[in-house]
Amino acid sequence: MSSRICRWLLLVLVGAAAPALHAQREKLPPDDLEFVEKTWPDAKKTTTGIRYLIQQEGTGEPARSGDLVSLIYAGRLINGKVFDQVIDRKHPFTFRVGRGNVIEGWDQVMLMMKAGERRLVIIPSELAYGTRGAPPRIPRDATLVFLLELIEIKRE
C-alpha cells in the first residue's frame, strides 16, 4: 500500500474513533468525581457522563422523545445545598421530552426512565448549566445531583 493511502486510512480511523473517545472522557471535575465515587460507589455511568442509581424500579416502556412527562424532584449542588424542588405530587413538574425545555441531562435521563421510577442522578456541568451557571442559585461549572421520580408518561 502506498504511504498516501496509509495516511488517508489512518485519518479515517482516527476520525471515526474521536467521537467515541470524546464520549468516554470524564466530565466531572476531580474533586466532584472523588466525592461522587465515595458517596455513591455503585452509581452507573452513561456514555455521556451522567451517573445514576435506580432507587425504585418503574414499569412499562421508558419515555420517548416527544412524550409529556410529569415528575417530582429535588435538585442539589454537589455540596448538598438544595437549589430547586417540586415535591407536590398533585402539582408535578411537566415537560415534553427532547424539546430542549429542560437541561440536556434531564432529556437524556428521561429516555431511560419508566413511570413510577425513582433515580438519584448526577449530571455534569456541560449537560446542565455549563460555564454560565444559573446565578444566583447555581454557580458556573456546577455538578448537579437530582432525586427524580417519574410519575406519569403521556405518549405523543
Q: Which residues are catalytic?
A: 73, 83-84, 103, 129, 146
Residues in the chain: 156
Contact (Cβ atoms closer than 8 angstroms) between residue 118 and residue 112 = no
Provide the strand spans (E) within 21-143.
44-45, 51-56, 68-77, 82-86, 93-96, 118-123
CA 63 to chain centre: 14
Q: For residue 95, what is its C-alpha cell? A: 415537560
Mention every residue, 6+ apart, whose C-beta is less than 8 A from residue 28.
36, 49, 122, 124, 143
Segment (H or E) for 35: helix 30-39
